[in-house]
Amino acid sequence: MPELPEVEVAARNLRRWTRGRRIVAIETERRAGRLFRPASSTSLAPLLGARFRGIQRIGKHLLVTLRARSGPIGLWSHLGMTGKWLRRAGGEPPPAGSRVALQLDDGARLHYVDSRIFGRLRLVDGARFDELPEIAALGPDPLARGIDVPRLRAALGRRRQAIKVALLDQTLLAGIGNIQASESLHRAAIDPRRPARTLAPADVRKMAAGIEKSIAFTLGTFASAGAYPGSADIGYVEERKVQNPFLVYGKAGTRCRRCKGGTILRIVQAGRATFFCPRCQR
């Protein structure tokens, strides 16, 4: 379920699992090569023997820095639609759908699991992530620091695009996906169909607050270990079969919890589902 909050959970997990660790073996499933497209490098062999130095996240991108004998090396990981990183202690069977397994010097394995293989993995020479066009193009990360409202308003500029569609553009803000876009606009009481350019400064301010609240709420739901009794690990929501925690996403036909009078509607914008309350989102 990788939008910013889930990728942040993945980053926190990986930090915990890799601190001071070294990669001692690498196993790849046959179709793992698809993860590297369209890049040419299809082998993670340069990571053998490398030691983890740190994990960064920007938007939905994970940036793993390691130090190999030959110097720094980076591993760039994007989870696509179904990607996730899981840890299995030594002796435990691998999870279904493991595409890549990194065996660490504590005996554990880190598995990259991705049924649809929409995710990406790429080695980055010298861990110079900022030289990747895909990373350089990203807008500011709304969790790293507060959203700069004047800058956001300027970026929305003269766009005629519906605001919900604009929010999915990673060059505007990095990390908002289809769930967070609907949830944020609902919290801000803004109609997702409004052209971006029609948002007044006060609307952009409300929207920024909505984005921050929605991300914080989702992160809290997914990341609080206490939410998952019986597990010391931070979990992914679908693995826990937690019921839908969102205000509008996936809630078509239900009563609006915000105004208590409207009914949540599902529409399609740019080919993606949008959920909102037509009564209180204006």
Partner DNA sequence: ACCCGTGTTCGCTG
Partner DNA sequence: TCAGCGAACACGGG
d(CA 177, CA 220): 17
134 lies in the site for DNA, by CB under 7 A: yes
Burial class of residue 132 (count of CB atoms within 10 Å of its CB; 0-12, 13-18, 19+): middle
219 lies in the site for DNA, by CB under 7 A: no
Q: Which stretch binds DNA (CB under 7 A): 42-50, 147-155, 185-193, 271-279?
A: 271-279
- CB 2 → DNA: shortest distance, Å? 5
3-state secondary structure 65-123: EEEECCEEEEEEEECCCCEEEEEECCCCCCCCCEEEEEEECCCCEEEEEECCCCCEEEE
- CB 228 → DNA: shortest distance, Å? 16
- CB 248 → DNA: shortest distance, Å? 12
Q: Which stretch binds DNA (CB under 7 A): 50-58, 103-111, 177-185, 201-209?
A: 177-185
190 within 8 A of 75, measured Cβ to Cβ:
no
- CB 141 → DNA: shortest distance, Å? 12
- Contacts with DNA, 223-262, as mask; x by CB under 7 A: ---------------x------------------------
Please state the separation of Cα 243 from the chain's center in Å: 20
Among 121, 163, 165, 264, binds DNA (CB under 7 A): 165
- 92 belongs to the catalytic site: no
Among positions 40-59, residues that touch DNA (CB under 7 A) are 59
- CB 174 → DNA: shortest distance, Å? 8
Q: Residue 275: beta bridge partners?
A: 266
What kind and span of H or E run contains 53? Answer: strand 51-58
- 272 belongs to the catalytic site: yes
12 within 8 A of 87, measured Cβ to Cβ:
no
Q: Would you state the structure tokens that stand for residue 128, as one six-digit string?
A: 């110079």
Q: Which stretch binds DNA (CB under 7 A): 64-72, 77-85, 223-231, 253-261?
A: 77-85
274 within 8 A of 122, measured Cβ to Cβ:
no
91 lies in the site for DNA, by CB under 7 A: no
d(CA 109, CA 156): 44
Contact set with DNA (CB under 7 A): 1-3, 6, 31, 34, 38, 59-60, 78, 80-82, 97, 115-118, 134, 159-161, 165, 168, 170, 177-179, 238, 266, 270-273
Residues annotated as catalytic (active site), given as ranges: 2-3, 60, 272
